[in-house]
Amino acid sequence: MIDVPKIYASMVFNDSEMKKRLPQKIYENLRKAIDENIALSPEIGEVVAQAMKSWALEKGATHFTHWFQPMTEVTAEKHDSFLNFDSGGNVKMSFSGKELIKGESDASSFPSGGLRATFEARGYTSWDPTSYAFIKNNSLYIPTFFCSYSGEVLDRKTPLLKSMYALNKQAMRILKILKNNKIRKVTPYVGAEQEYFLIDKSVYEKRKDIIFCGRTLFGAKPVKAQDLYDHYFASLRPRVADFMIDLDNELWKLGVPSKTKHNEVAPAQHEVAQIYTRSNLAADQNYILMETLKTVAEKHNLVCLLNEKPFKFINGSGKHNNWSLSSDEGINLFDPGKSPRDNIQFLIFLCAMIKAVDEYADLLRISVSSLGNDERLGSQEAPPVVVSMYLGPEITDILESIESGKIYTQKERGTFEIGLNVFPRFPKDTSDRNRTSPFAFTGNKFEFRMVGSNQPIATPNMILNTIMAQALKEFADALEKSKTPIEYLNTLLIDTIKKHKRIIFNGNSYSKEWFAEAKRRGLPIHSTAVDALEHLLDEKNIKLFDTHGVLSRAEIQSRYEIYMKSYCKLAHIEAQTMISMIKSEILPAVSKYNHKLAKTLAVKNGLNLNLNSNYEYKVIKNLSDLSSKLCDAVCELSKLENSCFCTENISERAQKYRDLVVCQMRKTREIVDKIEVEMPKECWPYPSYEDILFSV
C-alpha cells in the first residue's frame, strides 16, 4: 500500500524542509527575498547551501546540477559531484554558497538567436530560490536561470518570473484604487492538463519517423480508430494502469501534484493533470512531468509520445493551460461570486482580460506556434487557429447589461431533474463548457487550450501575465488620473466592453461560418506558425515587453530567430526522414512485391489465362503507377528541400519550408498511404496504425 502523505515531496527541498533545517532568521530573510524580489546575501546563500547539502546527502545524493530551461523543448543539466579533499588528502563532501547561487555553463551550443557569437562560449546559471530543489537519480537538481556572458536572457524561466512580478505590480495598483488593503500580493496560478500517447517499444523501434520526428510521416487510415469513442474514460488496461501507478509514485516523490489520470479519446492516448500552483513552479513541474512520463514508460517497455500530432486521422495531444490569479490570502480574483454583476473587483479583472486577449491575440497564437502544432490546431477536437474567448451566457449577459445600462436580472440556476428519485439534486451550472474555444472562461479561471503537448508552458504563461499586466496598467493609469476613480469605473468598463467585445464568441469555433465571422470582425487569422511568428517583431509587441521589463528588443529578436530556425530544422529533419524511408525501404518493398506477383503472373501466362482481368495484373499495374508517382514525388521533395536548406535569410527559408516542403510532404504521404493499403501486411516494411495504436 502506498503511503501518499509520507512519500509526497520526500525528494524535494521545499518550504517545510527549509523551515525545519534553516535558522529562523535565515529562513525569514530567504522568504522575504523570494516574496519581495530582492537579492540574497552571500551569507544567506552559504547557510542554505550547507542545509541543502546535508539534506541531499541524507537522501543519497552524490552530485548536484544547475537545472535550467534553454530555448529548446527540453531542460539542460551538467552534474558535478560533492566530492572534494581536505588538506590531508582525505575525501570530504562539500558544497558552497557560491556553487549554489552561481554556475558556469558552456553556452555555445544552446540557441541564442544571434545574441552572441558561437565562439563566446561562456554562460551563467543562477539559483532560482522561488522554485524548489529536488533529488533525482542521486543528483540534487537546483532550478536556475540561464543567461549569456553579457547578461542577455537565454532561457524560458527568467521572462516568466519577470512577467509575474510585472503582473503583481499592476494588479496591486488596481486593488489599491478599489481600496482592497487586505491583499498584499497577486500571483498567477496554473494547472496544466498533459495529454500523451503510449505505444509499445517494439513498434517504436521499427518506425524511423517516430524515432527521429516524434510522429508518423506515413500511415493509412485504420479500419477503426476513435470512431466509437470507446477509449475515452474507458477502464485502464493492466499495462497502462501499472504505468500510471509508477508515474504517480515518481511524480509525488518529486512534489508534482498529479491529480487526475484517464484514457483520452484517441486509442493509446491518455491524460494526466496537475493541481494548481504558482505559474513558475507549475512550469518547472510540467518539465518534470514530461521527463518522468518518458523515463517511467521506458521501464514498462513503452514509449511516451508528446508530439502534438503523432498520428493522422485521430486526435492530437494538447496541454490545456488553466490560468487564474490568486491573492496571498488565497482569494481567486476571477471568482464571480454569488452576484457577479455587483462584484466590481471581478468585473474589472475580467474586462482587463478581455482587453488583453483582444489586443494581443497575435501573441497568444505565437506562444503556441510550432511545426507540430500546425498539424494539430483546427483538427479533431483541437481548437482552431483563430483566438477567441468563451465567457458563457451568464457572464456575456452581464457584460451586455453593463454596456446597455439595463438592469441585469440573475436567472435561477435550477436543479437537475432526470426522473429518478435516487438521483441527488444539485444546482445546475450557469453555463456549459465550450470545448471548441481556444480561450474559455470555466467558472473562475481561463483555459488556454491551444498549447501543444510537447510545448513548455513557461512561454504561454509569460505572455498571459504580460498582456494582463498591460491591460491592468492602462486601467490603473486612467483611474488614477480621474478625480473620482470609483465613479469612473463604470465608464471604463462600458468603453472596454464596446471596444473589445469582438473577441467574445460563445458558439462553435469549428464551424466554417465562424472563420468568415472572425474575418469580418477583424480578428487575426494566422493559419501556420510562420504566419504568426512574423508578428512577434511588431512594434506594439516589442513595446509591450520592454514596458514591463520582461524582454528587451534584442531578446525578442533573438527569440524570433530561434523559433524560425527551430521550424526550419524540424521541417528539414522530417523531410530527410521521409526521403530516407521511401528510398531505402518503401520503394524497394513495392518493387519486391511486384516482382513476386510477376512470377505468379508468368505461371498463369503459361496456362494461357486472360491476364488483363487477373488479380495480379491489376495489382501490379496499380502499384507500378503509384510507385512511379511516388518516385517523382520524392525526387521533387528532395529538390525543394535542398533549395530551402540553402536559403540564407531565415524568414524566407521558413516561408519556403511552409509553402514548398511541408506541402510536398503531404502530397507524398497521400501516395504512400494509398500504396500501403494495396500491400500485404507481411510485405510492408513498417508497423501499421493498427499495430501501433492497439499494441498496448
Of 220, 217, 218, 214, nearest to 199 (Cα)? 214
Do 373 and 480 belong together in one domain?
A: yes
Residue 684's pLDDT band (cuts 50, 70, 90) = very high
pLDDT digits (tens, 9 = 90+) for 289-330: 999 999 999 999 999 999 999 999 999 999 999 999 999 989
Mind giving me the DSSP string for 39-78?
A: PPPHHHHHHHHHHHHHHHHHTT--EEEEEB-BSSSS-B--
Residue 607's pLDDT band (cuts 50, 70, 90) = low
- pLDDT on residue 683: 96
Do 207 and 149 belong together in one domain?
A: no
Domain end position, chosen among 489, 521, 551:
551
Do 131 and 232 belong together in one domain?
A: no
Q: Is the pLDDT of residue 673 over 60?
A: yes
Domain presence at residue 376: yes
pLDDT digits (tens, 9 = 90+) for 455-500: 999 999 999 999 999 999 999 999 999 999 988 999 999 999 999 9
Residue 154's pLDDT band (cuts 50, 70, 90) = confident
- Kindly tell me the sign of the dihedral angle through the C-alpha atoms of 103, 104, 109, 113: positive
Do 339 and 455 belong together in one domain?
A: yes
Task: Report CA Rg, the chain.
Answer: 28
Domains of the chain: total: 3
Given the C-alpha cell 511545426, which residue does it identify? 371
Do 462 and 419 belong together in one domain?
A: yes
Looking up residue 46, the CATH number of its domain turns out to be 3.10.20.70
Strand partners, 84: 92
**pLDDT > 90: percent of the chain:** 75
Looking up residue 651, the CATH number of its domain turns out to be 1.20.120.1560
Domain presence at residue 556: no
How far apart CA 363 and CA 337 sit, in angstroms, is 30
| Angle separating helix axes 458-481 and 485-500, nearest 10 degrees | 130
What is the arithmetic mean of pLDDT over 120-125? 70
Domain presence at residue 329: yes
Contacts 24+ apart (CB under 8 A), 524-527: 524/361, 524/362, 524/365, 524/386, 524/387, 525/385, 525/386, 526/362, 526/365, 526/369, 526/385, 527/385
Given the C-alpha cell 494548481, which residue does it identify? 276
Do 544 and 597 belong together in one domain?
A: no
Do 607 and 658 belong together in one domain?
A: yes
Do 381 and 505 belong together in one domain?
A: yes
Asked if 22 and 51 count as a contact pair (C-beta separation under 8 A), the reply is yes
What is the arithmetic mean of pLDDT over 155-179? 96
Do 147 and 169 belong together in one domain?
A: no
pLDDT digits (tens, 9 = 90+) for 68-94: 998 888 899 989 999 988 888 888 888
Do 169 and 145 belong together in one domain?
A: no
Do 91 and 214 belong together in one domain?
A: no
Domain with 397 in it: 163-551
Domain end position, chosen among 524, 551, 578:
551
- In whole numbers, what is the pLDDT of the chain averaged over residues? 92
